């Protein structure tokens, strides 16, 4: 018969229980080595040096630390030390919940606990044995479960005294999703509701230029989301609440749990509308208000890649976290061989050539591949492409591990996960290839907003390095593991060379990243050879030498980076959000202001201004005239002498709105957002990319089509080449959005091999007329015109008549001149941005904006030319010098 835990505690305290050493007398420091011996495990007979150091530090310094983070390298035995702490907690009369990333990992914890001799109860959705649940509640066993079992709208296991967060960053998903009402732009009731809400906002204000394209479904996937001002949200809140409650979508399996939690807190939420969906959510998860979190006497966070304690707190939304430190540095365990390969071409991550290369590696790896995507929208796009190729896909969804289990038992197949870089154990022969589709810098609309508008919020770049590190550990868990990792996004090399990103990558992973950059420099030939050599090698020692990074002979100190790694504002941020959630707007405003002051002192001007915005939002929720005045004053103070960046312009428009007059958005905001994105991506390669684009636009037919894609980006539009199989495909398609409407242009390129070009005739126009009709059918709410690019200098009357009201006729020389005008201006902007601070970008924009056409110039320029050719002279008249 199993002895009751309380009896064990009493027996140990008295030294009476034969077989147990006296270990847990009140007031004494536990000796975990002796406790391990007392458990009499056949497998776990002694502690490793690293485990001993950590447990000694825990026993001596952290028995009563409320929030404690423990970082240990993969393979060093984090699970065992956590179970020993759990065993000790049970002997202190505490209940214990051990949270893992997946059911598979929870089962592994259970198996390890049983080998240790520690009794545990495994809980999963709809699987709660009455006896084991009672044992857990009585503190007799450790409750082991995944995060979604413990953190949900109605959890069955009661709150524990000790909560262990294994792969701690995974807690962010369930904690955030509990209070994030997401309306995806997906076919069905969700899309109807999404577009209805977009329509409400468009009808109310002209402040959000991206919304027309989002409502029409023509926005490109990377379009930055729009954050509704709290003033606009207050005006629209009741209409949107009614629309949500009238929609069948509110009964969706996920929405029906979140909506009751959030519906009475809408005024305290931020509202983000992006091309993939709408998010209504608090600025951070108010986890401190969650009973299952707050009731714990101690919370322990485990990971091989914890990152900064400040950002871990920000992601979890909890209390301040203390990092456990040991007297001596911990050793890094051997996790075998890994090779990181980056896409050496400029082609997008899921482009045909890049995808074909990735699938070729999948075949060589045995057909079992794990794909790690940044977002659900990206995962949807990837899944569609793989299914179209008749490949077997297993889609991993939050809180549902069944597909992971199915994948592990299948002979081959493609596992797709979204926003998940930790908590997947793919060791041994289970998986030899992990593919990271895009740079993991943003997994939610809120993160995408931060990347686009708050350029100096360095915590996001730290997350990139952290997520890359986590991804590079998925299939390397043991010394015998040998795996390849692919980074498909062409931006990987540029991002991984960023010093702030590299600062967040641990020493043990630096060589892998440096090796990837070296291989990237060998272009396709060297990349393919390296891949082939890796798969052909019979042992880890036969791997290509180029993948091994040799440090320089003399090691320099390295450049120091500042930002969020040296400022700890998360506690104030999280507290402000929790205060606002419980309607304490005065305290919320005060804490948001203090967070802003701290960030401003660290040089994060835009990030600091965001928290002044949250301060204003908190004041505004008070509802009195005094509160509204305080909100305005906070924004006025934040924007006084502020730079002319897009975020600061948004703040100034909110001030105008509070003052009662309209200040419509400037369409140039979108242009500078796109330019900033391009500058971040290209870095020092910007001039080279612009030069290459110019050569393309001056080349053959296909080259000109490719050059139009670069010109689109220069002009603030999204360009794409329709697939060849698309019926009535145009040569190139441009899309952009203004405060008035969504715009689309169908391009037809005409070339002349040699000699003087003949006049443009009706036959040249006819094909484009048909393409325009197809585009109008695809985007019925978008203004669609055609653009015919031609070397001709004359137009026949029949061509003039056919194109009169629907096509812009553009001389090829004029297109090249437009390219040159815009390329010169973006390069001037890039040079003036200097250190890329908000202040420098604001000054650069002020200077360059004076040299750009005013108003909605692109739409006007590419409107029907009534049968006339657009010439170089027309552009000279349009652009100020």
Q: How far is CA 181 from CA 91, 190, 230, 266, 454, in A?
A: 41, 12, 17, 10, 23
Distance CA 635, CA 275 (A): 28
Q: Which DSSP category does 272 fall into?
A: E
Distance CA 156, CA 124 (A): 10
C-alpha angle 68-70-73 in degrees, rounded to nearest 5: 170
- The answer to whether 227 touches 213, Cβ cutoff 8 Å, is no
DSSP of 580-628, one letter per residue?
Answer: HHTT-HHHHHHHHHHHHHHHHHTT-HHHHHHHHHHHHHHHHHH-SHHHH
SS3 of 700, please?
A: coil
pLDDT score of 684: 83
Q: List domains and CATH numbers for the chain.
A: 5-172+289-323 (3.40.50.300), 180-281 (no CATH), 339-442+452-547 (3.40.50.300), 575-665 (no CATH), 672-878 (3.40.1350)
Query: Tokens in use for 784?
Result: 């669609």
Give bridge partners of residue 734 from the DSSP assignment.
Answer: 719, 745
pLDDT score of 545: 40
Residue 335, classified by CB atoms within 10 Å of its CB into exposed (0-12), middle (13-18) or buried (19+), is buried
Continuous H helices in 317-366: 352-364
In the block, tokens 């979204």 appear at 418
Distance CA 541, CA 758 (A): 65
How large is the C-alpha radius of gyration of the chain? Answer: 29
pLDDT score of 560: 52
H/E element holding 136? helix 130-137
CA 397 to chain centre: 16
Give bridge partners of residue 349 from the DSSP assignment.
Answer: none
Closest listed residue to residue 186, CA positions, set 373, 372, 349, 381: 381
Q: How far is CA 281 from CA 250, 266, 288, 293, 755, in A?
A: 16, 8, 16, 19, 62
Distance CA 840, CA 645 (A): 9
For helices 686-697 and 812-833, the axis angle rounded to 10 degrees is 180
Distance CA 430, CA 425 (A): 9
Neighbours of 440 (CB within 10 A): 27
- Residue 700, CB half-sphere, CA atoms under 13 Å: how many? 1
Distance CA 668, CA 339 (A): 43
pLDDT score of 433: 96
- Residue 216, CB half-sphere, CA atoms under 13 Å: how many? 27
Query: Mean pLDDT per segment of 10 residues, for the chain of length 881 residues?
Result: 49 39 58 96 94 95 97 89 98 97 91 96 88 96 96 94 95 94 95 97 93 92 92 97 97 92 96 96 97 98 92 96 85 82 92 95 95 90 94 86 88 92 82 94 89 90 89 87 94 87 86 94 95 79 42 53 68 98 98 97 96 98 96 96 92 92 81 91 88 96 96 95 75 93 95 87 92 92 96 94 96 97 97 93 95 92 96 92 80
DSSP of 708-740, one letter per residue?
Answer: HHHHHHHHT-EEE---TTSTT--SEEEEEE-SS
What residues contact residue 92 under an 8 Å CB cut-off, 6+ apart? 9, 24
pLDDT score of 21: 35
Distance CA 378, CA 381 (A): 5
- The answer to whether 206 touches 662, Cβ cutoff 8 Å, is yes
SS3 of 865, please?
A: coil
- The answer to whether 320 touches 67, Cβ cutoff 8 Å, is yes
Strands 807-811 and 869-870: parallel
Continuous H helices in 779-866: 797-803, 812-833, 838-849, 857-861
Query: Tokens in use for 787?
Result: 């653009």
- The answer to whether 541 touches 337, Cβ cutoff 8 Å, is no
Q: Which pairs count as long-range contacts for 519-528, CB under 8 Å and 24+ apart, including other chains?
A: 519/341, 519/342, 519/344, 519/546, 519/547, 520/342, 520/344, 520/492, 520/493, 522/344, 522/546, 523/344, 524/344, 524/345, 526/344, 527/341, 527/342, 527/344, 528/357
pLDDT score of 625: 95
pTM of the model: 0.88
pLDDT score of 9: 42
Give bridge partners of residue 146 from the DSSP assignment.
Answer: 100
Q: Which pairs count as long-range contacts for 9-17, CB under 8 Å and 24+ apart, including other chains?
A: 9/91, 9/92, 9/93, 12/91
Of the chain, the end-to-end C-alpha distance in Å amounts to 90
Distance CA 518, CA 566 (A): 30
Distance CA 702, CA 725 (A): 16
pLDDT score of 547: 41
């Amino acid at each position: 018969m199993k002895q009751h835990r309380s009896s064990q505690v009493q027996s140990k305290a008295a030294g009476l229980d034969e077989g147990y050493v006296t270990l847990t007398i009140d007031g004494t420091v536990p000796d975990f080595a002796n406790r391990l011996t007392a458990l009499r495990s056949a497998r776990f007979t002694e502690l490793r040096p690293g485990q001993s150091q950590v447990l000694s530090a825990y026993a001596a310094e952290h028995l009563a630390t409320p929030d404690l983070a423990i970082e240990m390298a993969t393979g060093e035995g984090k699970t065992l030390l956590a179970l020993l702490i759990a065993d000790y907690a049970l002997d202190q009369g505490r209940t214990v919940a051990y949270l893992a990333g997946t059911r598979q990992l929870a089962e592994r914890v259970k198996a390890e606990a049983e080998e240790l001799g520690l009794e545990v109860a495994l809980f999963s959705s709809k699987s709660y044995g009455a006896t084991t649940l009672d044992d857990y509640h009585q503190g007799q066993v450790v409750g082991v479960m995944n995060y979604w079992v413990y953190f949900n709208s109605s959890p069955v296991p009661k709150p524990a005294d000790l909560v262990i967060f294994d792969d701690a960053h995974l807690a962010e998903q369930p904690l955030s999703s509990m209070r994030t009402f997401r309306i995806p732009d997906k076919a069905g009731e969700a899309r109807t509701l999404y577009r209805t809400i977009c329509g409400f906002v468009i009808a109310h204000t002209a402040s959000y230029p991206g919304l027309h394209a989002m409502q029409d479904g023509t926005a490109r996937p990377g379009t930055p989301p729009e954050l509704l001002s709290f003033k606009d949200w207050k005006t629209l809140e009741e209409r949107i609440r009614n629309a949500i409650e009238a929609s069948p979508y509110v009964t969706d399996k996920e929405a029906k749990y979140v909506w009751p939690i959030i519906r009475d807190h809408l005024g305290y939420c931020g509202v983000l509308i992006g091309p993939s969906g709408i998010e209504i959510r608090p600025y951070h998860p108010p986890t401190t208000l969650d009973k299952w979190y707050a009731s714990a006497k101690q919370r322990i966070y485990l990971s091989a890649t914890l990152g900064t304690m400040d950002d871990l707190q920000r992601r979890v939304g909890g209390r301040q976290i203390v990092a456990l430190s040991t007297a001596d540095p911990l050793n890094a365990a051997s996790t075998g061989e890994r090779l990181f390969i980056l896409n050496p071409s400029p082609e997008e991550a899921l482009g045909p050539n890049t995808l074909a290369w990735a699938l070729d590696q999948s075949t060589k790896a045995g057909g079992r591949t794990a794909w790690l995507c940044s977002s659900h929208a990206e995962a949807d796009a990837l899944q569609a492409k793989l299914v179209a190729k008749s490949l077997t896909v297993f889609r991993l969804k939050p809180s549902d591990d069944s597909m992971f289990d199915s994948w592990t038992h299948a002979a081959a197949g493609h596992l797709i996960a979204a926003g998940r870089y930790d908590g997947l154990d793919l060791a041994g022969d289970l998986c030899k290839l992990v593919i990271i589709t895009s740079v993991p810098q943003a997994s939610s609309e809120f993160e995408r907003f931060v990347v686009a508008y708050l350029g100096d919020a360095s915590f996001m770049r730290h997350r990139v390095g952290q997520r890359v590190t986590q991804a590079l550990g998925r299939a390397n868990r043991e010394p015998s593991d040998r795996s390849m990792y692919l980074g498909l996004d062409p931006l990987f090399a540029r991002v991984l060379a960023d010093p702030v990103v590299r600062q967040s990558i641990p020493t043990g992973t630096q060589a892998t990243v440096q090796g990837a950059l070296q291989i990237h420099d060998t272009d396709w030939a060297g990349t393919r050879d390296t891949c082939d050599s890796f798969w052909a090698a019979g042992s880890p020692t036969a791997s290509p030498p180029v993948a091994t990074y040799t440090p320089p002979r003399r090691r320099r100190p390295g450049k120091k980076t500042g930002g969020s790694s040296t400022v700890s504002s998360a506690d104030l941020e999280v507290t402000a959000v929790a205060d606002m959630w419980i309607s304490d707007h005065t305290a919320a405003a005060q804490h948001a202001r203090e967070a802003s002051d701290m960030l401003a002192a660290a040089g994060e001007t835009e990030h600091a201004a965001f928290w002044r915005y949250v301060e204003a939002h908190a004041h505004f929720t008070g509802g009195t005239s005094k509160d509204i005045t305080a909100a305005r004053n906070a924004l006025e103070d934040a924007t006084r002498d502020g730079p002319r960046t897009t975020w600061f312009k948004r703040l100034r428009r909110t001030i105008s709105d509070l003052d009662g007059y309209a200040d419509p958005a400037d369409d140039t905001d979108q242009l500078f957002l796109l330019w900033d994105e391009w500058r971040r991506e290209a870095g020092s390669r910007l001039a080279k990319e612009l030069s290459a684009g110019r050569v393309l636009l001056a080349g053959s037919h296909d080259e000109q089509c490719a050059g139009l894609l670069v010109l689109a980006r220069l002009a603030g539009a999204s360009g794409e080449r329709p697939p060849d199989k698309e019926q009535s495909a145009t040569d190139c398609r441009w899309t952009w959005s203004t405060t008035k409407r969504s715009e689309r242009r169908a391009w037809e390129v005409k070339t002349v091999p040699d000699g003087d070009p003949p006049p443009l005739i009706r036959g040249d126009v006819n094909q484009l007329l048909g393409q325009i009709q197809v585009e109008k059918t695809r985007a019925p709410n978008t203004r669609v015109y055609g653009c015919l690019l031609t070397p001709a200098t004359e137009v026949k009357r029949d061509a003039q008549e056919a194109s009169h009201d629907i096509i812009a006729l553009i001389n090829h020389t004029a297109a090249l001149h437009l390219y040159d005008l815009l390329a010169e201006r973006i390069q001037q902007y890039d040079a003036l941005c200097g250190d890329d601070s908000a202040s420098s970008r604001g000054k650069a924009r002020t200077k360059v904006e004076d040299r750009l056409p005013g108003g909605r110039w692109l739409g006007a320029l590419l409107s029907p030319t009534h049968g006339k050719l657009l010439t170089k002279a027309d552009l000279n008249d349009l652009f100020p010098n």
